[in-house]
Amino acid sequence: MSDRLPGFSTLAVHAGAQPDPTTGARATPIYQTTSFVFNDADHAASLFGLQAFGNIYTRIGNPTNAVLEERVAALEGGTAALAVASGHAAQVVVLQQLLQPGDEFIAARKLYGGSINQFSHAFKSFGWNVVWADSDDIASFERAVTPRTKAIFIESIANPGGSITDIEAISTVARKAGVPLIVDNTLASPYLIRPIDHGADIVVHSLTKFLGGHGNSLGGIIVDAGTFDWSTGGKYPMLSEPRPEYHGIRLQETFGNFAFAIACRVLGLRDLGPALSPFNAFMILTGIETLPLRMQKHCDNAKAVAEFLAGHPAVASVSYAGLASDKYNQLARKYAPKGAGAVFTFSLKGGYDAGVSLVSKLQLFSHLANVGDTRSLVIHPASTTHSQLDDAAKVKSGAGPDVVRLSIGIEDKEDLIADLEQALGA
Ligand SMILES: *Cc1c(COP(=O)(O)O)cnc(C)c1O
């Protein structure tokens, strides 16, 4: 092989993996074990003291999970990654390294409904205070910064409306405030957008969605860009100060540009415990091998379906950034030139009742609360994922009563359009 760098599709198949050295197995084996034998007492002590890298116990690390971590870090262009049990677990572990009780983080208001819930209620009980900002108004992020701000959290393509976030503009605000930018890249996947190329310091994913891609395994991952200096101003003591759990070592000083990923593992995952099962890591790794093929098909199908809906008399509006007429089309051309994703919303002239009726008449689309499956999915956010919000907040987050959300799968687009046509017309 020459010294050329492998391309994205090659990394999706190979990054982090090699034939198993003991058996020759070509697919990554599922290391279904809780624990790993030490060579001797010194080896055990050096592993526990973070003086050597190696396997101890699957709550802290596992060889199958390690392949997944290396692969996603390579696809996102980060220095290291940590796989966890779900996307929500990734969010908890990330913020636990950054916030002390009483601290604040700024989050875009347009977010996955589960994240709005997690931030508003569960995190509040930890003393982590969310301050909402509006991705369409970059100055609202600037205005939200206070001396207690420790991070900014956005989605690259935002749920449920599929809007595109101006990552570079918000990263400039984060730089100025001296806080890391965390980007949830679940709906884009690194095939469409690599947030680190646009100034993100930390990327999180629900692996449950497009990366796993088959609707069969939960998982989450944290990618460290290696770009943030955690030592400034004593703002991030978990990273800059001596850790009593590890004989007083300082993580940033010891681990440099992958200190954040290490902190998430040895302080977050070790103590909070949301470990990913190696079986799920195997399923998700298998899914990632076809990510570029699937993602392109998802996007091409989504664009065809969005165009069909935009021309249908029962449809009031379609919110899909891939349409030339869409408010976010300029941002889509800049950030996601290969396609604007496959999750979007549209609204029906017949309002709430028409939405409910459509969902009940669709046959090929499954009515359920997920996105990023090979199968096409439909949901009415106002009565489900976003039902906990009051009416004004529903509209603000793109989930008004007349709105239906689709996640377009990889079936034949003609079949998807025919199903929508019968359900809208009948
Ligand atoms: C699903 C999802 C999450 C949460 O992930 P889980 O794996 O379900 O915990 C977070 N963010 C986005 C954008 C999601 O779609």
All structural domains of the chain, each given as residue ranges with its CATH number in brackets, are 8-287 (3.40.640.10), 291-425 (3.90.1150.10)
Tell which atom from ligand 1 comes closest to the C-alpha of 89: 9
pLDDT in tens, 134-174: 999 999 999 999 999 999 999 999 988 899 999 999 999 99
pLDDT in tens, 293-352: 999 999 999 999 999 999 999 999 999 999 999 999 999 999 999 999 999 999 999 988
- Please check whether residue 103 is in contact with residue 150, taking contact to mean a CB–CB distance below 8 angstroms: yes
Tell which atom from ligand 1 comes closest to the C-alpha of 159: 13
Which residue's alpha carbon is nearest to atom 2 within ligand 1?
A: 206
Looking at the DSSP bridge assignments, the partners of residue 80 are 224
Residues with CB under 6 A from ligand 1: 86-88, 112, 114-115, 155, 159, 184, 186-187, 206, 208-209, 218, 220, 371
pLDDT in tens, 194-234: 999 999 999 999 999 999 999 999 999 999 999 999 998 78
- Alpha-carbon distance of 307 to 301, in angstroms, equals 10
Quote the pLDDT of residue 240: 96
pLDDT in tens, 228-253: 999 987 899 999 999 998 989 999 99
Read off the pLDDT of each residue in 243-269 and give the average, rounded to a whole number: 95
What's the CA-to-centroid distance between 65 and ligand 1, angstroms? 19
What's the CA-to-centroid distance between 89 and ligand 1, angstroms? 9
pLDDT in tens, 378-425: 998 888 877 877 888 888 777 888 899 999 999 999 999 999 999 998
Which residue's alpha carbon is nearest to atom 1 within ligand 1?
A: 206
What's the CA-to-centroid distance between 59 and ligand 1, angstroms? 21
- Looking at the chain, the whole-number percentage of residues with pLDDT higher than 90 is 87
Look up the pTM and report it: 0.96
Quote the pLDDT of residue 140: 98
51: CB partners within 8 A, 6+ apart = none
Has residue 1 got a pLDDT over 70? no
pLDDT in tens, 96-131: 999 999 999 999 999 998 999 999 999 999 999 999
- Alpha-carbon distance of 397 to 415, in angstroms, equals 30
Question: Alpha helix locations (H) across 251-407?
Answer: 251-255, 259-263, 270-272, 278-289, 291-310, 329-335, 351-361, 391-396
